[in-house]
Amino acid sequence: MESRSVLLKEAHALQCDAEDGLARFREAFYIQPGIVYLDGNSLGLLSRRAEEALLRALDDWKTRGIDGWTEGDNPWFYQAERLGAMSAPLVGAEPDEVVVSGSTTVNLHQLAAAFFCPEGKRSKILADELNFPSDIYALQSQLRLRGLDPADYLVRVKSRDGRYLAEEDIIAAMTEEVALIVLPTVLYKSGQLLDIPRLTAEAHARGILIGFDGCHSVGAIPHRFSEWGVDFAYWCTYKYLNSGPGGVGGLYVNRKHFGRLPGLAGWFGSDKEKQFDMEHDFTPARTAGAYQIGTPHILSMAPLFGSLEMFAEAGMEAIRDKSLRQTRYLMDLIDMELPDMGFVIGSPREDERRGGHVSLEHPEAARISQALKAHGVIPDFRAPNVIRLAPVALYTSYHEVWRAVQVLKRIMQEKLYERYENKRGVVT
């Protein structure tokens, strides 16, 4: 760690930017003047390349009409699979193990419907009490559809401190009654990164299938899902992958499960050679493409072509290295600039346990978040007391991290947050 006097200086941040190998990608994004955007773990910024890709898709629609499905540089009929292949290196998968389709919750419903096969005593789903609510809603629904009461058949591992999950506790809950495990790769509040290979190995040693929600890691953390033997995973693309609000989701299915029927069959899960035979006998694709349901959202998918090109150029290892450096720098500055102001850093200090954002806990978090926005720093608030700050490797500068802490320091010293109510907005 650099000395305190060096870290606190603005010149240090500027020097880090001058030495940053990913700094060139910042120019590709639309960054509003005077704004420090630290909410990319909720909605990533628009890039010029994503915009250009969307405009090309609109032009194909304008000039080709129905022929856009089979003509042009990116025929619509094959886009889900092509984007899946482009996404595969981000999660450590083979190209045919990934498809871009649906949304996070739709994809979880699809995967749970396929992989949750209660039989005899093995009839429960294991999740955790800190997971994002939508995942829990979906799992509860899947149980009800099978006539099982979620109160009895959905097991949620408890957190010891309300902030983190202990892998030992998760493993202890892997009993002979569990048929399926669904966990986050990164906890959405604290930013804790779970030990995915360890949990996967422990689940398989007990004959349990396991899948992961990668919404808060894909695009920020490299994974090796195929090597680790993860059974399935799903994620959104509008956070770190910068596909735009409501952007299409992604899913991974380990090739050892190819041939398993999707739980929710739909036309676009068909073998491409058979799809337009219009038969009532479903012939699923022999890849992860089988888990598609309806017609792809072409205009929602288009920006990903431009975005994923940048990830291929930057490389996930370089992205992860910068992300760790920036989150560590952010935590160091908070420690030094904001002592005795009521803040608790709720994210793991260890690099190997931390995702892509820093969680700041404070009793006045909602008011402080509003004050930050009013002073040009865009955070993310999560009830009841969490401010999430996410430096994003492709477009956040070290100087912006330094500036954000200076703004936060002023807000606290001058009590500017007292001008606002300590309650969340409709969308946080």
The neighbouring-strand residues paired with 270 are 284
Exactly one of 60, 96, 213, 380 is catalytic; name it: 213
**What residue type is 173 in one-letter code?**
A
Residue 123 marked ligand-binding: no
Whether 256 is a known active-site residue: answer no
Whether 388 is a known active-site residue: answer yes
Exactly one of 17, 56, 77, 132 is catalytic; name it: 132
Exactly one of 82, 163, 382, 388 is catalytic; name it: 388
CA distances to 67, 177, 253, 388 from 367, rounded to whole Å, are: 52, 45, 42, 14
Q: Is the dihedral of CA 15, 16, 17, 19 positive or negative?
A: positive
**What residue type is 295 in one-letter code?**
T
Residue 295 marked ligand-binding: yes
Whether 48 is a known active-site residue: answer no
Decide if 51 contacts 58 (C-beta within 8 A): no
CA distances to 90, 308, 356, 425 from 313, rounded to whole Å, are: 12, 9, 20, 38
- The region that residue 413 occupies, defined by phi over 0 for left and psi between -120 and 50 for alpha, beta otherwise, is alpha
Residue 238 marked ligand-binding: yes
Decide if 12 contacts 2 (C-beta within 8 A): yes
Q: What is the DSSP letter of 27?
A: G
Exactly one of 212, 238, 311, 417 is catalytic; name it: 238
Exactly one of 239, 354, 367, 382 is catalytic; name it: 239
Whether 354 is a known active-site residue: answer no
Max CA pair span of the chain: 72
- Residue 260 CB-density burial (10 A; 0-12 exposed, 13-18 middle, 19+ buried): middle
Whether 78 is a known active-site residue: answer no
Residue 216 marked ligand-binding: yes
Residue 135 marked ligand-binding: yes
Q: Report how far residue 292's alpha carbon sits from residue 101's, in angstroms, rounded to the nearest whole number.
A: 6
Q: Where are the beta strands (DSSP E) in 158-312?
A: 178-184, 209-213, 232-235, 250-253
Decide if 196 contacts 169 (C-beta within 8 A): no
Among residues 345, 328, 333, the alpha carbon closest in space to that of 4 is found at: 333
Write the DSSP assignment of 140-195 as a string of letters.
HHHHHHTT--HHHHEEEEPPSSSS---HHHHHHT--TTEEEEEEESB-TTT-BBP-
Binding residues: 104-105, 132-135, 213, 216, 238, 267, 295
Positions marked catalytic: 132, 213, 238-239, 388
Binding residues for pyridoxal 5'-phosphate: 104-105, 132-135, 213, 216, 238, 267, 295
